[in-house]
Amino acid sequence: MSKNPFVLSVIPPDAPFCNRVEELEQLTSYAIDGTNVVLFSPRRFGKTSLVKRVQANLAKQGMLVLYADFFGVTSVDDVAGKIARSVYTFIQRNESLMKKALRILTTFRPVFQPAEDGSFSISIELARPNLHGIDLLDKTLEDLGVFMEQAGPGKIHIVFDEFQEITELKEKRIESTLRSHIQFQQSSYFFVGSRRRILLEMFNEKNRPLFQSAQLYELKRLPHDDLVEYLVAQFKKGGKPCSEKNAQNISSISRQYPYYAQKLALNVYAVSGKVVQAKNITKALEIMIDNETYFYQATLQSLAPRQIALLRALAAEPSKTILSNNYIRKHDLGSIGGVQSAIKKLRQMDLVEVDTDSRYRTVDPIFSIWLQRL
């Protein structure tokens, strides 16, 4: 039996990937030019998979590529530690760079643990016990700057994934500290994230330290035709052919949302016999919705009743005029003021967006189906 050809996790650079050809090219050239980029999209659109590919490209061309994921950071020390760790992780097999790093990066020491495959997993420990918080971050970035100079200016590319997480921390000087170091460096930084409003406010608002310090780059849905082609090819590879029509159906249900396209296809593959049939898609959709329920419930739990009411209304009926009497009455949304504050929160959380027709609508197509069934 063949293996299920669909994956739910970050796609490694050498695995089959749908399109993103132009994005790959543009982002790679930004990185080489030393341009900073804010890469944003809703959750699970393929940002991490894409930047991993960009970095694989750059590494082939001899650049040093650092990747730090800020998801779940709990303190400024944590942020600094992740940055230091990204350096040690990338250069672990390069003796001369490792020597340099050990000499120059004074704030953290690497701790190596051998993994089964002969590589090392790296953790870090604080090397300057009396340095903490913003001072620690400042010194770490300063050291990193020196390291960059000595490793070859302009040869370093740095990804800060889930960058918006730093706004969850109480320390408000993180942005200015970053800015003060980044602005003099020739390296290219990619700030990646899925809470679009929060992320963009950092770079678009005049009074914020990172204002206009990076090029904004939005990652869009996958193009329908390319997605259909990709799905057909992957089903074929897995030994269960899928017609173009059925693949189109999978693309439409998932609204070309990369994660859901993969997940729906993964379930379709699992429930199909020798060939994919239309009824397999119906069944797979139910399995997928069932499977996401826990996550959707948790999302609702973080919302107030008014926000839930508006979200459900938009799932059923996307609209330009959510503040009109008509819309409010029809969906029982209470007062105009209430709707105004609810929409603000829903957009902050990236649960609602404005589409190309200027209508408010839910971001997540499957959550939307689930909400309509409540």
Ligand X SMILES: Nc1ncnc2c1ncn2[C@@H]1O[C@H](COP(=O)(O)OP(=O)(O)OP(=O)(O)O)[C@@H](O)[C@H]1O
Residues that bind ligand X (CB under 6 A): 7-8, 10-11, 17-18, 20, 41, 43-49, 194, 258-259, 262
CA distance 49 to 76: 26
Which of Mg ion, ligand X, none is residue 280 near (CB under 5 to 8 Å by kind)? none
Which of Mg ion, ligand X, none is residue 235 near (CB under 5 to 8 Å by kind)? none
Which of ligand X, Mg ion, none is residue 110 near (CB under 5 to 8 Å by kind)? none
Q: Which is nearer to ligand X, 4 or 319 (CB)?
A: 4
CA distance 275 to 291: 24
Q: Which is nearer to Mg ion, 11 or 202 (CB)?
A: 11
Least separation in angstroms between CB 44 and ligand X: 4
Closest CA to 4 of 191, 342, 284: 284
Cβ atoms of residues 306 and 338 within 8 Å:
yes
Q: Which is nearer to ligand X, 192 or 333 (CB)?
A: 192
Least separation in angstroms between CB 166 and ligand X: 15
* CB-based contacts of 272, cutoff 8 Å, min separation 6: 240, 242, 280
Q: Which is nearer to ligand X, 157 or 263 (CB)?
A: 263
Name the closest residue to Mg ion (Cβ).
48
Q: Which is nearer to Mg ion, 48 or 55 (CB)?
A: 48
Least separation in angstroms between CB 207 and ligand X: 27
Least separation in angstroms between CB 43 and ligand X: 4
> What's the one-letter identity of residue 351?
L
CA distance 146 to 143: 5
CA distance 125 to 80: 11
Cβ atoms of residues 280 and 250 within 8 Å:
no
**Residue with structure tokens 């938009």?**
314
Name the closest residue to ligand X (Cβ).
46
Pairing of strands 156-161, 188-193: parallel
Helix (H) or strand (E) holding 149: helix 133-151
Which of Mg ion, ligand X, none is residue 43 near (CB under 5 to 8 Å by kind)? ligand X
CA distance 38 to 211: 11
Which of Mg ion, ligand X, none is residue 28 near (CB under 5 to 8 Å by kind)? none
Least separation in angstroms between CB 39 and ligand X: 9
CA distance 51 to 239: 30
Please name every residue paired with 111 in a beta bridge, in sequence order, or none if there are none. Answer: 123
CA distance 325 to 374: 24
Angle among Cα 97, 100, 105 to the nearest 5 degrees reads: 115
Give the binding site for Mg ion (CB under 5 A).
48
Please name every residue paired with 108 in a beta bridge, in sequence order, or none if there are none. Answer: 126
Least separation in angstroms between CB 265 and ligand X: 9
Q: Which is nearer to ligand X, 77 or 161 (CB)?
A: 161
Q: Which is nearer to Mg ion, 9 or 96 (CB)?
A: 9
Least separation in angstroms between CB 366 and ligand X: 13
Which of Mg ion, ligand X, none is residue 258 near (CB under 5 to 8 Å by kind)? ligand X
Q: Which is nearer to Mg ion, 138 or 292 (CB)?
A: 292
Which of Mg ion, ligand X, none is residue 18 near (CB under 5 to 8 Å by kind)? ligand X
Which of Mg ion, ligand X, none is residue 17 near (CB under 5 to 8 Å by kind)? ligand X
Least separation in angstroms between CB 260 and ligand X: 8
Q: Which is nearer to ligand X, 137 or 159 (CB)?
A: 159
How far, in whole angstroms, is CA 182 from its chain's centroid? 22
Q: Read off the tokens for 54.
A: 């960009």
Which of Mg ion, ligand X, none is residue 11 near (CB under 5 to 8 Å by kind)? ligand X
Q: How many residues does the chain have?
A: 374
